[in-house]
Structure formats: C-alpha cells, structure tokens
Copies of this chain bind each other. A is one copy, B any other.
Amino acid sequence: MSEQSGERAVILVSGGLDSATTLALARERGHVCHALSFDYGQRHRVELRAARRVTESLGAQEHRIIHLDLRAIGGSALTDDAIAVPKAAAGVSVGEGIPVTYVPARNTLFLSYALAWSEVLAARHIFIGVNAVDYSGYPDCRPAFIEAFQAMARLATKAGVEGRGVTIHTPLIHLSKAEIIREGTRLGVDYGLTLSCYDPDPEGRACGHCDSCRLRAAGFAAAGVTDPTVYGVEP
C-alpha cells in the first residue's frame, strides 16, 4: 500500500466486497481516502459494522456514516418490510430485468452526498464500486449513468464552476466478480471483514441463499480463492 501523499478522495463504502476492493484500489493510487457509508434503514444494518472494519483495516483517513430516511420513500425489498428478499433458485445472476432489491435512485443519492462532501473537502475524486457486469439490471450501475452524473456534478458545485470539478471513478465497472476478488486479494483485502448478504442473521452471518451471497460464492470459486465468508446456515 502506498503512502497517503496524494489527493483527497471520497470513497463510498458499504461494507461489501466490491466497495472494499474499491477502497483498496483508491489507496493504491495514493489517495487520502475519506470513506462514506449510509444508514438507510436497510435490513442489513450489520453491514455498517463491516464498513467500519473495512475502512479501519484499509487505512481510510476517516469514515462518516450518514443517516438516510429511505423508508419514508419506500419501494425496495431492502428498505421496505412489505417486500420479501428473493431466494431464487435459478442461477446467481441478478442481471435479468430490474430486481426487487433495487432501491429507488440509490446511487444518485449516494453520489449526491459524496459530491456535497467532496466540495467541503475540496476533493476532486469520488470512487464508487458499481459493477455493470453482474448488476446490469440496476440502471444506476451502468457507465452511461455514471458519465451523466459526472457531467451534472461539474455544473452543480462551486468547484465545477471554477474548473475543479470532480471525477467519478468506477474501477470495478467492467470486472467480473472473480476479477474483483483477484484484484482485492493482490492488494491484501481481508474479505473475511466484508459482508455482501442481503439478509444476514443478527450476528452478521450471511444467509448463503440470496442473490448477493450466491454471486459472491461463485466469484470466490471462479477466482480460485478460498472463501472466508461465515454463513449462519450452511448453503
């Protein structure tokens, strides 16, 4: 890991595998990393404890958690108790159609907070671990969305007006889950600290059955890396 001698960056960190890898990649590029997580009434609030472990482990400069009241808006299995998290048997892909676990405008909201904080920090870099390979069903994980957000962001802020607009970095966007895991393993990410499950038990152990668990397990298998995930129930 290189010295934190570079420019400041805001890194969106969920506690999952992808954002942990993204943070490690930003650190490798020498950024001083300001990690940002969101408490949005998700069922997997234990994921925030994972986010804390990940940011400490990977040497973030600081870690802030912002409370978002997405329950007031509703519309997703992840924040709305009336919608069940699917335990589909058919394959690990969540790429067909738009899944029920989609949260309305989530990445737009997350990036907007990152933009606000970057302006206060005078940071010109935002990193987000979106992925267009496995999450092609999520509109806000696609390159076209990220490009449009960046164009908007450069018109939205003092820094943008003054020619110091932000760049949105998406280092994982075209990687497979196995490629992401190999990158993180190269950088020393301890994936045992991360949590990907949509429906963990109260101790933070993964269910092993949801789309996210299945995608993760298949990624470790394809990468040829030992899976450190602790499951509440054997999958």
Q: Which residues of B contact A157 (CB under 8 A)?
A: 104-105, 139-140
Contact with B along A44-85 (1 / 0, CB 8 A): 000000000000000000001011011011110000000000
CB distance from A101 to the nearest CB of B (A): 13
Q: Is A113 an interface residue (CB 8 A)?
A: yes
Q: Find chain B residues with CB under 8 A from A148 CB.
A: 148, 151-152, 155-156
**Complex-state Cα separation, A169 to B129, whole angstroms:** 32
A21 CB–B CB distance under 8 Å: no
Q: Are B64 and A156 in contact (CB under 8 A)?
A: no
Q: This chain: how many copies in the complex?
A: 2
Does A174 sit at the interface, judged by CB under 8 A? no
14 of the cross-chain contacts (CB-CB < 8 Å) are A67-B67, A73-B120, A75-B116, A75-B120, A98-B161, A105-B112, A106-B116, A108-B112, A108-B115, A108-B153, A109-B116, A148-B151, A151-B151, A151-B152
Contacts of A119 in B (CB 8 A): 75, 104-105
Interface residue SS majority, chain A: helix
Give the contact-size bracket for chain A: 35 or more
In the complex, what's the smallest C-beta–C-beta distance from A50 to chain B, in angstroms? Answer: 20
A123 to chain B, nearest CB (A): 12
Residues of the B chain whose Cβ atoms lie less than 8 Å from the Cβ of A105: 112-113, 115-116, 119, 156-157
Residue from A105, A113, A158 having most chain B Cβ neighbours under 10 A: A105
- Determine if B104 and A109 form an interchain contact, defined as CB atoms under 8 angstroms apart: no
Assess whether B155 is in contact with A145, with CB atoms less than 8 Å apart. yes
Docked Cα-Cα span, A153 to B198, in Å, equals: 26
Closest to A70 in B: B116
Minimum Cβ distance to chain B for residue A169 (Å) = 17
